[in-house]
Chains A and B, each alone.
Chain A
Amino acid sequence: MTLGAVVMLAPIVWMISTALKPESAVLSAVPHWIPKPATAENFVQLFTQAQDFPVFRWLLNSLFVSSSVTALVLLVASSAAYAFARMEFRGRELLFMAVVATMIIPSQITLIPVFLIVQKLGWFNSYFGLIVPGLAGGFGVFLLRQFFLSIPVELEEAAYMDGAGPLSIYWRVILPLGKPALAALAIFTFIGSWNDFAWPLIITNDIAMRTLPIGIMIFQGRYTTEFGVTMAAAAVCTVPVILAFLAFQKRITEGIAMTGLKG
Chain B
Amino acid sequence: MRSWNPNRHARFFLLPYFALFLLFVVAPMVYGFVISLHKWYILAPHPTFIGFANYSAVLKDDLFRTAFWRTGYFVIMVVPLGNALSLLLAVGLNQNYRGATFYKVAYYLPVLTSVSVTAILWRWLYSTQFGLLNYYLGRVGGWSVNWLTSTSTAMPSIALLSIWWGAGGNMLIYLAGLKNVPRELLEAAEIDGASPLQRFRAVTWPLLKPTTLFCLVMSVIASSQVFGQTYILTGGGPYYSTLTVILYMYQQGFGLYQMGYASAVGYVLFAAVLVFTVLQFKLLAFRR
**Residues of A in contact with B (beta carbons under 8 Å apart):** 1, 4-5, 8-12, 14-15, 18, 26-27, 30-31, 75-77, 79-80, 82-83, 87-90, 92, 95, 99, 102, 104-117, 132-133, 135-138, 141, 153, 157, 160, 165-166, 170, 191, 194-198, 202, 212-214, 216-217, 220, 227, 230-231, 233-234, 237-238, 241-242, 245-246, 249, 253, 256-257, 260-263
Q: Which residues from chain A contact B50 at a C-beta distance below 8 Å?
A: none
Q: Bound state CA distance, A26 and B130, in angstroms?
A: 9
Out of A31, A117, A160, A227, name the residue touching B24 (CB < 8 Å).
A117
Q: Which residues from chain A contact B280 at a C-beta distance below 8 Å?
A: none
Q: Name the distance in Å between A154's Cβ and chain B's nearest Cβ.
A: 10
Interface size on B, residues (CB 8 A): 93
Q: Is the interface of A mostly helix, strand, loop or mixed?
A: helix
Q: A77 near B17 (CB under 8 angstroms)?
A: yes
Check B1 for interface membership: any CB of A closer than 8 A: yes
Out of B21, B262, B270, B277, name the residue touching A112 (CB < 8 Å).
B262
A216 and B120 in contact (CB under 8 A), knowing A141-B17, A257-B179? yes
Q: Which residues from chain A contact B181 at a C-beta distance below 8 Å?
A: none
Q: B113 near A195 (CB under 8 angstroms)?
A: yes
CB interface residues, B 4-26, toward A, < 8 Å: 4, 6-7, 9-14, 16-18, 20-21, 23-26
Q: B116 near A217 (CB under 8 angstroms)?
A: yes
Q: Name the distance in Å between B172's Cβ and chain A's nearest Cβ.
A: 5
Q: B173 near A256 (CB under 8 angstroms)?
A: yes
A227 and B124 in contact (CB under 8 A), knowing A4-B89, A132-B24, A133-B24? yes
Q: Bound state CA distance, A118 and B186, in angstroms?
A: 54
Given A80-B13, A214-B116, A216-B120, 15 extra CB contacts under 8 A: A5-B106, A5-B107, A15-B124, A79-B13, A112-B266, A115-B253, A116-B31, A136-B23, A153-B1, A197-B114, A197-B116, A230-B120, A234-B117, A245-B109, A260-B176
Q: Name the distance in Å between A127's Cβ and chain B's nearest Cβ.
A: 16
**Chain A residue, CB-CB nearest to B16:** A76
Q: Which residues from chain A contact B175 at a C-beta distance below 8 Å?
A: 253
Q: Which residues from chain A contact B115 at a C-beta distance below 8 Å?
A: 195, 197, 213
Q: Bound state CA distance, A108 and B112, in angstroms?
A: 20
A257 and B120 in contact (CB under 8 A), knowing A5-B107, A87-B6? no
Binds A, one of B150-158, B191-199, B220-228: B220-228
Q: Name the distance in Å between B97's Cβ and chain A's nearest Cβ.
A: 9
Q: A113 near B263 (CB under 8 angstroms)?
A: yes
Out of A83, A111, A231, name the residue touching B14 (CB < 8 Å).
A83
Q: A80 near B106 (CB under 8 angstroms)?
A: no
Q: Bound state CA distance, A9 and B170, in angstroms?
A: 17
Out of A8, A75, A88, A230, name the residue touching B107 (CB < 8 Å).
A8
Q: Name the distance in Å between B82's Cβ and chain A's nearest Cβ.
A: 11
Q: Which residues from chain B contact A197 at a C-beta distance below 8 Å?
A: 114-116, 227-228
